[in-house]
Amino acid sequence: MASSCRFAFAVHVLAVLALKRESGGVCSDLLAGSVNTNPVIIRRLLTRLRHAGLITTQKGSCGGATLVAAPEDIRLDVIYRAVETGVPFSQHPQQPNKCCPVGAGIERVLAEVFASAQSALEAALARRTLADVLAAMAAEKAPRRSTARPAKRKAA
């Protein structure tokens, strides 16, 4: 029943690449340090992102990963499909008892529910881009302005 963190890692990695766009390729060790995971996991993720056409990679000491498109052109649903290969919801591992009133119809009903949930997820992701993620992070980091007025000083 474990869920995948590939999508979260992929968005994290692509956000780092977006922020470091001007400095050239970013190595998997730096990305792994940012995500706080093993570089091997990042390299596997980079391979999926490269196959999806989201990044380019170059080997060697001057190499690394770079974004192929601007962050505003990278939709989150594309990232999701690039890295998530399994289904997010799954049926019973064994065949339910067909003699049971629930077991007889649960698989068909859940299949419809799961398909609807998957469509809603992908539609929500399609409305957002990597630039939206970066903007939301910048907004959280920005200092909040106080709406309170400064207190008036009393005359001495």
13: in domain: yes
Asked, for residue 105, whether it belongs to a domain, the answer is no
Number of domains, the chain: 1
| 40 assigned to some structural domain | yes
Distance CA 76, CA 2 (A): 22
CA distances 13 to 26, 27, 135, 151, Å, are: 10, 11, 16, 46
> Is 30 a member of any domain?
yes
Q: What is the CATH number of the domain that holds 42?
A: 1.10.10.10
101 belongs to a structural domain = no
The parent domain of residue 22 ranges over 6-87+128-136
The pLDDT averaged over each successive group of 10 residues in the chain (156 residues) is 79 96 90 95 96 93 90 97 84 87 92 92 96 94 64 57
Asked if the structure places residue 121 within a domain, the reply is no
Q: For position 85, what pLDDT does the model report?
A: 82
What is the reported pLDDT for 1? 37
Asked whether residue 106 is domain-assigned, the answer is no
Residue 44 in domain: yes
